[in-house]
């Protein structure tokens, strides 16, 4: 499959080159040239298919022929080595748990898939690729874990000092091997800006092959469309009108859901649930898209002031505001709302959510007020223990640490502090 740049000032490129480059030379995000709806039989026979079969059929068109089908099957099988259960809370609300992977965040799937694609493309290459990634919380751990030990690939992670949870920090600073963490004196947007700048800096790119592992990268972004089909498989017999509420930051996950809808998955509506970083909520209200600096919240993986993937969403709906509005609602919530939701979910349904899932739950509640027949699925994007302090304080109950988390807590953090772009550049050039 070929990809084009959404800035439309760069040549089309293959899946392989889109994965290796991350961002197009004109700074645009890559987008597939064609989207072919899956045959009706795919949805009719869905109950008899395994997750691997579903994922393979759904994503094949975007990957072939650069990765042979048998290799792609293996990559998918390894990527999806855990469960994606839907848990029903009530007749109108369910949650799709996306936290059963090794770092207990939904980003595990994208990171594992991308790492394996890049490993495949780089297997005969003598020069290492450097994956440069900015994280607002969960990306770093998932990418670090997904790429750990992949031959020919080095990973450099930038994270905002003091703005990720203790467990998140451990997950991205304790792995060693081909993984390095840079602790940035700044906020997530500073990290993301530095990463974008490095990609355009010829004094770096002439000497080393850089790529991104943010949802900018098509191999990180597209496999997220699986989740929506997995949820559909579990719910379609009981519910006709399925809507998804997605706790959104960079809007990669929700945009992948929209790709699943383009493939023919009968999703009635999307809800972008935001914390106080509400650029998209405001856009849908005012038709005015105005990015602003991010503010820190309890759902820190969504503290994004200028969501990268929103241009892809605009592309999917042909830049037509009205079409977009028919498919997408958006609500924004404060930290107090989030805490109240955590408590409500616990008391009403005996379910422990994390702050991101809680924001998603609130989106469901608001949407259901005017759509009584819908069944709303909010995505649980991280395990609650990754945000232990706030969750335990709000529900006044001890939460057990799962084994994946226990394993990192006693390890020693190793990170290099940097404060600006010149520090990053000096660091990268030193590694050559
Ligand atoms: C990354 C992340 C999000 C936001 O996902 P986007 O694809 O950036 O919108 C939400 N919740 C958690 C826990 C995350 O790690």
Cα(170)–Cα(166) distance, rounded to whole angstroms? 6
pLDDT for the residue numbered 386? 87
The per-residue pLDDT for 356 is 98
Beta carbons of 195 and 158 less than 8 angstroms apart: yes
**Residue pointed to by tokens 């009530």:** 90
Q: Is the peptide bond before 260 cis (omega within 30 degrees of 0)?
A: no
C-alpha 134/C-alpha 132 separation (Å) is 7
Ligand 1, closest atom to CA 215?
Answer: 7
Query: pLDDT tens-digit profile of 159-184?
Result: 999 988 888 899 999 999 999 999 99
202 touches 429 (CB < 8 A): no
Atom number of ligand 1 nearest to Cα 137? 15
Cβ neighbours for 122, distance < 8 A, ≥ 6 positions apart: 20, 129, 151, 152, 153
Output the CA 126–ligand 1 centroid distance in Å.
34
Question: What's residue 316's pLDDT?
Answer: 98
- Find where tokens 């970083």 sit: 277
Task: Point out the catalytic residue in the list 9, 73, 107, 233.
Answer: 107
Q: Which of 247, 281, 311 gets mutated to test ligand 1 (max ligand atoms within 8 A of its CB)? A: 247
Q: What is the pLDDT along the chain (432 residues), one digit of tens a residue?
A: 999 999 999 999 999 999 988 889 898 999 999 999 999 999 999 999 999 999 999 999 999 999 999 999 999 999 999 999 999 999 999 999 999 999 998 999 999 999 999 999 988 887 889 999 998 777 888 999 999 988 889 999 999 999 888 888 999 999 999 999 999 999 988 998 999 899 889 999 999 999 888 888 999 999 999 999 999 999 999 999 999 999 999 999 999 999 999 999 999 999 999 999 999 999 999 999 999 998 999 998 899 999 999 999 999 999 999 999 999 999 999 999 999 999 999 999 999 999 999 999 999 999 999 999 999 999 999 999 989 999 999 999 999 889 888 888 889 999 999 999 999 999 999 987
Supply the pLDDT for residue 160.
94
DSSP SS3 for 213: coil
Contact status, residue 407 vs residue 369, Cβ threshold 8 Å:
no
Contact by Cβ (8 Å): 180, 416 = yes
What whole-number distance in Å separates Cα of residue 430 and Cα of residue 183?
A: 17
pLDDT of residue 36: 98
Please list every protein residue whose CB sits less than 6 Å from any atom of ligand 1.
105, 107, 137-138, 215, 247-253, 301-302, 356, 381-382
| pLDDT at res. 168 | 87
Angle between helical axes of 335-349 and 388-395 (0-180°, round to 10): 60
Q: How many angstroms separate the alpha carbon of residue 31 from the centre of ligand 1?
A: 20
Q: Are residues 173 and 141 in contact, defined by beta-carbon separation less than 8 angstroms?
A: no
Q: Would you state the pLDDT for residue 21?
A: 86
Domain ranges of the chain: 83-106+221-400
Say what the pLDDT of residue 157 is. Answer: 95
pLDDT at 112: 95
The whole-angstrom separation of Cα 228 and Cα 98 is: 11
Report the Cα–Cα distance between both ends of the chain, in Å, rounded. 32
H helices of 64-124, in order, are: 69-79, 107-121
Q: Is 107 a catalytic residue?
A: yes
What CATH number was assigned to the domain covering residues 83-106+221-400? 3.40.50.1100
Q: Whose CA is nearest to atom 11 of ligand 1?
A: 381
Cβ neighbour number for residue 60 with a 10 Å cutoff: 17
DSSP state, 317?
T
Strand partners, 133: 157
Given the CA of residue 251, which atom of ligand 1 is nearest to it?
9
């Amino acid at each position: 499959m070929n990809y084009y740049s959404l800035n439309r000032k760069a040549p089309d490129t293959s899946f392989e080159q889109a994965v290796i480059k991350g961002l197009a030379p004109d700074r645009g995000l890559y987008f597939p040239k064609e989207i072919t709806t899956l045959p009706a039989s795919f949805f009719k026979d869905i109950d008899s298919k395994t997750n691997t079969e579903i994922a393979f059929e759904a994503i094949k068109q975007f990957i072939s022929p650069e990765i042979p089908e048998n290799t792609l099957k293996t990559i998918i099988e390894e990527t999806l080595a855990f469960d994606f259960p839907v848990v029903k809370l009530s007749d109108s609300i369910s949650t799709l748990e996306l936290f059963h992977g090794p770092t207990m965040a939904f980003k595990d799937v994208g990171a594992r898939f991308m790492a394996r694609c890049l490993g495949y493309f780089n297997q005969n290459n003598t020069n290492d690729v450097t994956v440069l990634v900015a994280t607002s919380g969960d990306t770093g751990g998932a990418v670090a874990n997904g790429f750990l030990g992949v031959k020919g690939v080095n990973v450099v992670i930038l994270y905002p000092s003091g703005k990720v949870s203790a467990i998140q920090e451990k997950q991205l600073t304790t792995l060693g091997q081909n993984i390095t963490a840079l602790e940035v004196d700044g906020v997530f947007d500073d990290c993301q800006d530095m990463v974008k700048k490095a990609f355009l800096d010829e004094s770096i790119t002439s000497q080393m092959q850089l790529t991104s592992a943010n949802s900018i990268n098509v191999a990180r972004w597209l496999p997220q469309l699986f989740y929506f089909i997995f949820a559909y498989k579990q719910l379609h017999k009981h519910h006709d009108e399925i809507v998804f509420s997605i706790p959104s930051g960079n809007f990669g996950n929700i945009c992948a859901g929209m790709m699943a809808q383009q493939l023919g998955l009968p999703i009635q509506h999307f809800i972008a649930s935001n914390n106080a970083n509400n650029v998209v909520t405001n856009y849908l209200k005012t038709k005015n898209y105005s990015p602003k600096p991010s503010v820190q919240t309890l759902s820190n993986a969504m503290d994004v002031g200028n969501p990268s993937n929103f241009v892809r969403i605009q592309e999917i709906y042909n830049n037509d505001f009205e079409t977009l509005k028919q498919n997408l609602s958006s609500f924004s919530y404060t930290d107090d709302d989030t805490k109240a939701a955590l408590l409500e979910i616990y008391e009403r349904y005996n379910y422990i959510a994390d702050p991101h899932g809680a924001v998603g739950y609130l989106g469901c509640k608001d949407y259901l007020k005017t759509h009584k027949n819908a069944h709303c699925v909010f995505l649980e994007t991280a395990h609650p223990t990754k945000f232990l302090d706030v969750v335990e304080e709000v529900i006044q109950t001890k939460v057990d640490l799962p084994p994946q988390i226990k394993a990192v807590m006693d390890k020693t953090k190793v990170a290099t502090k940097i404060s600006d772009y010149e520090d990053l550049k000096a660091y990268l050039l030193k590694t050559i």
